[in-house]
Structures are given as C-alpha cells and as structure tokens.
Structure 1
Amino acid sequence: MISVTEAKQIIRANIRALPSSLVNLADAGNSVLAENIYAAVDIPAFDQSNVDGYAIRFSEKDITLDIDGEITAGSEIIKSLSKKKAIRIFTGAPAPEGADTIVMQENTAAANNTLTINDPALSKGMNLRPRGTDIRKDELALEEGTLLTPAAIGYLAAVGSAKVNIYRPPALTLIITGNELAQPGLPLRTGQVYDSGSFALKSALQLHGIRSPEILHCQDDPHELTLALRHALSESDMVILTGGVSVGEYDFVSQAAENCGVTKLFHRVKQRPGKPLYFGMKDDKPIFGLPGNPSSILTCMYVYVSLALNMYLHKKESLYQPAILKNAYRKTAGLTHFMKGMYNAGYVEILTGQESYRMSSFAKSNCLVILPETETEFKPGYQTQVHLL
C-alpha cells in the first residue's frame, strides 16, 4: 500500500500528452490552445463610433453645423465629412473620413437639419475607436497554453479565427461492474441498488470536456470483464472501471487487467475513502480501477482521475486551498482522509455522514477536507487544505 503522494507521483510520471486536435471555435470552450493565434484583421477593422451621436471635426465644436446624412452600423460606404458639417452616426458604425471626434447625441441639439453642441467636457478623439487599437493584423492574439474561457472564445472570433488547435481530452471508456446495480427509473429488486456512481462520474467527466464516453456495464464475471476491458483498450485512450477492485471473491478487475496485459503500477492507497484504488498502464493508456461505493468513486475521480485528465488537457491541477477547521475531528493514524466539507471565506466545516456509501453529504459539500495520514486529532483552528469541487 502506498501513500497519496506516491500515487500522484506515479500517475504524473506515466501520462503522456495526446496529439492536438483541430476543432471548430464554437466547440473549443474550456479547452487549452495548442498553438499561437495571430489576428487575421485589425480590431477594430476601421475607425468606429463608440456611441450614438454625431461625427464632427473637434475644431468646429463651437459653431452651428449642418447635418449631412447618417451612417449606421454595418454600412459598407465610408463617407467623407465636409467642413462645417456633422454626420449622424450610430454605435459601431464606421466613422467618416475627416472626422476626429464623436459627440454623444445627449449633448447636442438638432433642429432644421442643423446641429448645436453643448458638451464642455468634449475632447478631441472622444468616443472614437481608432482602427487597430485592440490588436493589429498579424499580431499575437493568444498564446499556446491559454485556457479558452468564454471571453477568449469571443476574442478569437473577433480576430477572425474559425477553427483552433486544442489539447484534446482522451477518448474514454467507463466500465461499470456489479451484479447489484439497477438503472434509475426501474423498480428495485431485493438486493439491488441504483447505479449512482456512474452518473456522478459521467457528470464529473463533462467538466473536463468528456461529454460522450463509451459506457459498458458488466456482471461480476472475470471472462465478461476481460472482454470488455480488451475492447475498451482497443477503442480508447483511457479506461475507468468502477467496482471489483477490492479483495472479495467477486472482485475481478485486477485479474482482468492482467489478462489484458496491463502493467499494474499500484493497487491500494493509504487513504479513506477509496483505499482499493487501482492504477495500471497498457502501452501509453492509463487504466483506473475505482472502488464501487459512490463516495469512493467520486473522491478518486476528483483526486486522481482529474489529475490525469488535467495533464492531458495541459490544465493546472485541481484547486487546493488553505482553510481553517471549524469543528473537531479524530481519526486513526495511517490513512489520509478526504472528508466531505463546506468551505466558506477561509474556514471549513467537516460534514456529518462521511461513510463511503453516503452521497447525501457529498451532494451538499463544496470541497474535500484533507486530513494528513500521520495525524490523529484535529481541533478547531487547525490549518488544513481543502480540494475545492
């Protein structure tokens, strides 16, 4: 049995980046850029009005001006501004040649096709967006390694990018084992429980951009499980199994992995929940075996599977935050405990209902409270770390 730190080190040492993938910009949200992006155009692409108002020469602001037509957003004709004239203009419209200032309509008076300006604060260049002030054509827009937030996606669209290369998530197969599992919505027979773990796991994977993993359901049968794992390894970059990793007579994951030529790198970690966690490699493909209890599945997903996925995706590791413990807790030495908790403004409370089968407390938590392996007593005020969910 190895420590949590050792388990993480082994995972980090074995995950290899996948080739980048060219995708439509609209599908690239929350991914990481695998290339530098350069602007295809100037932004703005022309001198542009920032407000609804009138385009003028600043030197003529104190005289009455004749109104000479209008320019709307989307206009393809660039007009010229004659002397002693003003042109009605709308937000986003191209400024006429010769104009150096836009005066807001609220600070004007228009009558009989003439314009008087009443704006003591008006200055030359006001309300005018000069061409290329955000970025010039061929300048670097975003660097490789940038996380594509909604703002970044919008910015890349603005500079003319339709497709981008991203670090893609692995093709992934989930293998759900257990004779006792029934699908939600069906009546439960004696001895059955609803399959909550795979639903929680699939939802967590969606946060990493994995929206449609292949999902296989297996009975507790070594031959069936071996066939399923062999298929998954042929089709996927990564495999996650749930259940069947303990030491019971019907726990067959380790045997199936050996049958498929998987090299076991660890099996059992000094932690609670999730002690029987399995990790192995087949060539460059990682295989995780998660314990079957719902809280164990989700804890191991957050702590270990997310670590591997973030490496594939070139993202930072999950967010760990220092926190001050609000309530006391005691545990035995020898295991790191990941406790369901509620974090707020630098303080964290360990919730009740910590057993690995109980999801009610997990559903209300916003973090995992990390209690170190060697320590046993934790008093209010103890400085710990939390893994924000």
Structure 2
Amino acid sequence: MISIEEAINIVKATAKPLLQKTVKTVEKSGSYSLSETIYSPINMPPFRQSAMDGYALHLHNNLTYKLIGEVKAGDAHQPHLKPGEAIRIFTGAPVPDSANAVVMQEKVLINENTLTIQNRVAENTNIRPEGEQVKKGDIALAKGTKLTPAAIGYLASLGVSNVTVFKKPSIALITTGNELVEAGKTLSYGKIYESNSKMLQSALYNLKFYDVSIHKVEDNYNKTVSKLKSVIAKNDMVIITGGISVGDYDFVGKALTELNVVERFYKVKQKPGKPLFFGNKEDKLIFALPGNPAAALTCFYAYVYIALQKMMDKEDTELPRVKAKSLTQFTKNGDRPQFLKAIYTNGHVEILEGQSSAMQQTFALANALVFVPEDITNIKINDTLETMLLPV
C-alpha cells in the first residue's frame, strides 16, 4: 500500500501525451488543442473598417462638409471623397481610401446635404486599419492553444473551416457485478441499479471527453479476461469499477495479470478508495476503481483526472486546490488520509454528513473534496483546510 503522493507521482510519470492528430471542423473543435500553428490566411480586418456608425470624412480646415453618399456594411463600392466631403457610414463598413477619419453620428449636425462637426477630428479617428488584429501570414493561434468559443469565433472570422488538433483519448468504462441491473428494468431482490458507468460517463463528458464506450461484464473469470482484452486493444484508457478487491468473485486483478498489464500500484493509503489499481499495457492506461460509487468518483478526480490531462499534454494536471475555513466540526476515524465530500463557498467549506464510500446523495450536493492528512483527527470550526475544487 502506497501513499497518495506516491500514487499521484506514479500516474504522472506513467501517463504520456497522446500526440496523435486529427482534423476537426472549426465548429466541432471546442475544447481541443491545436496540434499545429495556424497562420492567418487574410488580413483582419481585410480592409479599412469603420469602428462605429457615423460619417467618413476627407478632412479639411473647416468644420462643415458636403454629404455625398453612403456606405454600409457589406458594400463593395468606393466613393471618392474630395477634401471637405463626407459620406454616411456604418459600423463594420469599408472606409473609402479617400477618407481619413470617421466622426461618430452623435457629434454632428445635419442640414440637408451639409454636415457640421462639433470639434476638429484627428486623422484616422475611428478607423480600424487593415490587418489591425492580425496580418496575412502572421501567427493567428499557436500550437497548443485550447480552442475556446472565442478562439473558434476568431478562426471562423479568418475564414478557417478546418483545424488539426490533438486527438483526445478513447475511453472504455467497464462495470462488473452480477448484482447490477440497468435503470428501467425491474429490480428483483438482491439486485441494485447500476450507476457507476452513468456517473463516470457524465464526469468525462463534463471534461469534454466524448469518445466513451460502456461495457458490462459478469462476475466470471473467462468473460472478464475476454472483455478486458477486447477493450484494452481498442482504447487509450480503460476504467473498471468493481471486482478489484480480493473476494471470491473479484476477478479483475487476476485477469489483468493474465493480460500482462503492468501493475504500477495497487491499494492506496486513503479513504475512500483504498482498493485502487493503476497499470498500463504499453501506452494503454488501466484504472480499476472501487465499486462503491463515492469511492469510484473520488478516485476519478484524484487520479484519473491527472492521467487525462497528461494524455492531453496539459501543464496543470491536478484539480485546483485552495485553503478554506471550515464551517463544521469533524472527527476522522482511523489513520488513513481522507477525502471528505464538501461544499465550498467564498473561502469557506462545509463538510457534509454521510461520508460513506457508498453515499451518492452526499456527493450529489458536493462541489469540493476536503483533504484531511493522516496526522489530523479532529477538525474544528475555522480550521484551515486543503480543499480540492471539483469541475462544475
């Protein structure tokens, strides 16, 4: 049995960036990271552009101008302005080459075809120069940039329709147990509804990992070996829940050994989630999480999350941790470090009741995990606690 710190370090050392590339349409590239630098195919803006609704001027020494026409967004014509002439213009419209300033509409007086400005206007006022954002051939977004909605909008404005990104891992979720029944079916005596796969799939979707398949295997050794062999061959990561302990019908550990999965660690000194397995077969990562739902989800956030970030070549691989003042008292049983389900708000944290590894209702309310080291037994109100913030 190893410490939490040792287990985290092993996960970080074992998980490697996938660095496989795939092409996505811009609109479907959200949350991916660029695998290649994108150079702008155009100037942005591609022409001198009005920054507001107003009037484009060919400046002269008088405050009055002759109004000779109009240019709106999307127009392609180029009126020629002589000194002292002006045109009506709208935000985003192309500014004629012969105009050298735009005055906002609130600062002019109009009398038929004569325009009078209140004050002199400096040259290039309210004109966005061609290539102000980015010039053709310059770097638009560098390799490794995460594609946020703003980044996607920016690339679309440059006319980019497809991007090459780093592939996200394919992930298989396997649930084990003869007692498990799918929701919607009749629950007979001795059975329970299976929830771990839905819970972990949702956690993965929340982190923008969508290449997820779900598999169920009975408590049967040969079937466990067959299923694991198949999903390990087809996926970058395999997450198993249940069957990793040492009971008569826990076959996962033996099956992994038969399949030559390298054990990196088994059992971590922590609560919940002591019977946690992590290993790999070449570049495939395998986690076997406890079957109890709250323990499985805790291990997911403490370890699987780190592996996923490493596979995506991210620098920040752990969930954010903050110091928070406790709003509650708590007494820890045993000498194992503990992750406690909690609610964090504005620098304070409330440890929730119902900390059993099977208590999903408590986890459903939590937005944080409080970490309690092994040498601390009693938590008092206003104690400073290390708090892991869960993804929202």
The TM-score bracket by the shorter chain reads over 0.9
* C-alpha distance in structure 2 between counterparts of 1:20 and 1:376, whole Å: 48
* C-alpha distance in structure 2 between counterparts of 1:143 and 1:61, whole Å: 48
Alpha-carbon deviations, 1:264-321, whole Å to 9, x = none? 1111111111111111111111100011111112111111111000011122222122
Does the Cα contact within 8 Å between 1:343 and 1:367 map onto a contact in 2? yes
Following superposition, the deviation at residue 156 of structure 1 comes to 2.3
- 2:354 is aligned with 1:353: yes
Residue correspondence of structure 1 range 79-228 to structure 2 within 5 A: 79-118=79-118, 120=119, 122-228=121-227
> What does residue 234 of structure 1 align with?
233
Percent identical pairs in the alignment equals: 41
- Please give the secondary structure, in 2, of the residue aligned with 1:51: coil
* C-alpha distance in structure 2 between counterparts of 1:237 and 1:212, whole Å: 10
> What does residue 285 of structure 1 align with?
284
Does the Cα contact within 8 Å between 1:51 and 1:92 map onto a contact in 2? yes
Give the letter for the 1:4 counterpart: I
- 2:65 is aligned with 1:69: no
> What does residue 252 of structure 2 align with?
253
Alpha-carbon deviations, 1:211-267, whole Å to 9, x = none? 141211111111111111011011111111111112221111101111212111111
TM-score (norm 2): 0.93
* C-alpha distance in structure 1 between counterparts of 2:120 and 2:322, whole Å: 48
* C-alpha distance in structure 1 between counterparts of 2:175 and 2:120, whole Å: 69
Does the Cα contact within 8 Å between 1:333 and 1:374 map onto a contact in 2? no
> What does residue 7 of structure 1 align with?
7
Following superposition, the deviation at residue 70 of structure 1 comes to 1.3
Give the letter for the 1:295 counterpart: A
Following superposition, the deviation at residue 60 of structure 1 comes to 5.3
* C-alpha distance in structure 2 between counterparts of 1:15 and 1:369, whole Å: 25
CA 307–62 in structure 1, closer or farther in 2 if over 3 Å, else same: same
**How many pairs align?**
387
CA 192–375 in structure 1, closer or farther in 2 if over 3 Å, else same: same
Give the letter for the 2:302 counterpart: V
> What does residue 271 of structure 1 align with?
270
Does the Cα contact within 8 Å between 1:167 and 1:314 map onto a contact in 2? no
Give the letter for the 2:176 counterpart: T
Following superposition, the deviation at residue 61 of structure 1 comes to 5.9
Does the Cα contact within 8 Å between 1:220 and 1:251 map onto a contact in 2? yes
* C-alpha distance in structure 2 between counterparts of 1:170 and 1:78, whole Å: 52
Following superposition, the deviation at residue 122 of structure 1 comes to 4.6
> What does residue 43 of structure 1 align with?
44
* C-alpha distance in structure 1 between counterparts of 2:218 and 2:128, whole Å: 65
Moved more, 241-250 or 141-150: 141-150
Does the Cα contact within 8 Å between 1:169 and 1:209 map onto a contact in 2? no
- 2:56 is aligned with 1:55: yes
> What does residue 321 of structure 1 align with?
322
CA RMSD of aligned residues (A): 1.8
TM-score (norm 1): 0.94
* C-alpha distance in structure 2 between counterparts of 1:61 and 1:222, whole Å: 93
